[in-house]
Amino acid sequence: MQQRRQAMDHDVSGETTGWLNMADGQRLFLRSWPLARQARGAVLIVHGLGEHSGRYERLAQWFNQRGYAVRSYDQRGHGLTPGPRGALRHGDDLLEDLATVYLDYAAGLAHPPLLLGHSMGGMVAARTVLDGRITPPALLLSSPALRSWEPAWLRRLARVLARVTPWLPLRNGLNFDKLSHDPRVVAAYRDDPLRTGWITPRLADFIFRAGAACIADAADLSVPTLLLVADSDDLVDPAGSRAFARKAASTGLLTTRFFSTLYHELFNENDPGRAQVLMQLADWLGRHAVPPRS
């Protein structure tokens, strides 16, 4: 994997931005929240379908306050990363991209970063780890897109269209109102100029196939993993997370936390729901994810 990283630009908030070139020439937009002093660890965040890395500033600040540096990036077809919206050149592009970004970030750190993925990003993170492309010290999955609410006929259609018209732009159909109980989150998402409402058959087929493959291979999980599940999720089917948890139970590496009344974006929910999610995350980090000090 040959890549070239351009210099990071700084803004007054402490956030830095830059670019990383993939082996196929695709440029990915990077966004980081570093720490002025030596960090206890680091986290790489992988965003979900239709969104972008900038929506994780609040979560990044939460990690910063606990001594973790943070990086995220706009996946291809999303945010400030150039190219057709919601599109892939090859079926495993998102997995290759994550591995490249992760290894580039890890190369500049004292300890490899934790990996956190939300929704589609959670599925991408899980699949990349299960494939053995990277081995983070810990994996955190928030509402991962392991199973869709879409009917079987639509999943079959996506498979056919992925072969015939893989670049065809289609509406992704995400229900804004079921992202969070906080109306400010919903309004900000709806008005976000970097949000995309498009998906192509190749990306849709990848999501359907890779989510099912993650469940099938869950018993191969090899790193400590925290699975956070929104049981009132209307964007992804939480039954996929339950199936993953059952198959991964034999590894002894999975901790699962269910939140019965919360919507899809657990880190953007109203309090006290959000506070409960972050309390579970902080407790798990304290027990599983503190790297050894030099």
Residue ranges of domains in the chain, CATH in brackets: 4-288 (3.40.50.1820)
Residue 90 bears catalytic tag: no
Give the C-alpha separation, 289 to 229, whole Å.
Answer: 19
Q: pLDDT at residue 3 above 70?
A: no
pLDDT digit string, tens, across residues 230-240: 999 999 999 99
Catalytic residue among 52, 118, 181, 264: 264
Q: pLDDT at residue 209 above 90?
A: yes
pLDDT at 11: 52
Residue 78 bears catalytic tag: no
pLDDT at 12: 42
pLDDT at 198: 97
Catalytic residue among 97, 148, 233, 241: 233
Helix (H) or strand (E) holding 28: strand 27-33
What mean pLDDT is predicted for residues 44-68?
Answer: 97
Residue 67 Rama label (left phi>0; alpha psi -120 to 50; beta)? left
pLDDT digit string, tens, across residues 148-194: 999 999 999 999 999 999 999 999 999 999 999 999 999 999 999 99
Three-state SS for 115?
strand
Q: Quote the DSSP letter at residue 8.
A: P
Confidence of residue 8 (pLDDT cuts 50, 70, 90): low
pLDDT digit string, tens, across residues 84-121: 999 999 999 999 999 999 999 999 999 999 999 999 99
Mean pLDDT of the chain: 94
Report which residue type is found at 232.
S
Catalytic residue among 32, 53, 72, 119: 119
Residue 260 bears catalytic tag: no
Give the C-alpha separation, 44 to 262, whole Å.
Answer: 24
Three-state SS for 267?
helix
